[in-house]
């Protein structure tokens, strides 16, 4: 079974989460909510994989998130 990695990065300046994947060409989505963005990726990934001819049966999506925040003491 194929596995596709999706990275979520918080864009502090735009105040949105951005989803990208080196393994799913064309995947670039953003949302203010991480949960909403994950749902959008679940719906968009199959379409992009089909368009790129990469969809071969079942696959898994692995989500990785990264967010840095400045803590002032």
What is the domain partition of the chain in residue ranges?
2-66
The pLDDT value recorded for residue 55 is 66
* 57 φψ region: left (φ > 0), alpha (ψ -120 to 50), beta (else): left
Rg (CA), the chain: 14
Band of pLDDT at residue 37, cut at 50, 70 and 90:
very high
The pLDDT value recorded for residue 1 is 85
Taking the model in full, what pTM does it have?
Answer: 0.88
Our CA angle for 38, 32, 14, nearest 5°, is 125
2-66 falls under which CATH superfamily?
A: TTHA1013-like (3.30.2390.10)
| Mean of per-residue pLDDT scores for the chain | 94
CA–CA distance, 43 with 57 (Å, rounded to integer) = 16
């Amino acid at each position: 079974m194929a596995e596709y990695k999706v990275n979520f990065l918080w864009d502090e300046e735009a105040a949105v989460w951005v989803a990208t994947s080196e393994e799913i060409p064309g995947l670039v989505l953003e949302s203010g909510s991480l949960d909403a963005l994950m749902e959008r990726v679940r719906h968009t990934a199959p379409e992009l994989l089909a368009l790129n001819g990469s969809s071969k049966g079942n696959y898994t999506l692995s989500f990785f998130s990264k967010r840095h925040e400045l803590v002032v003491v």
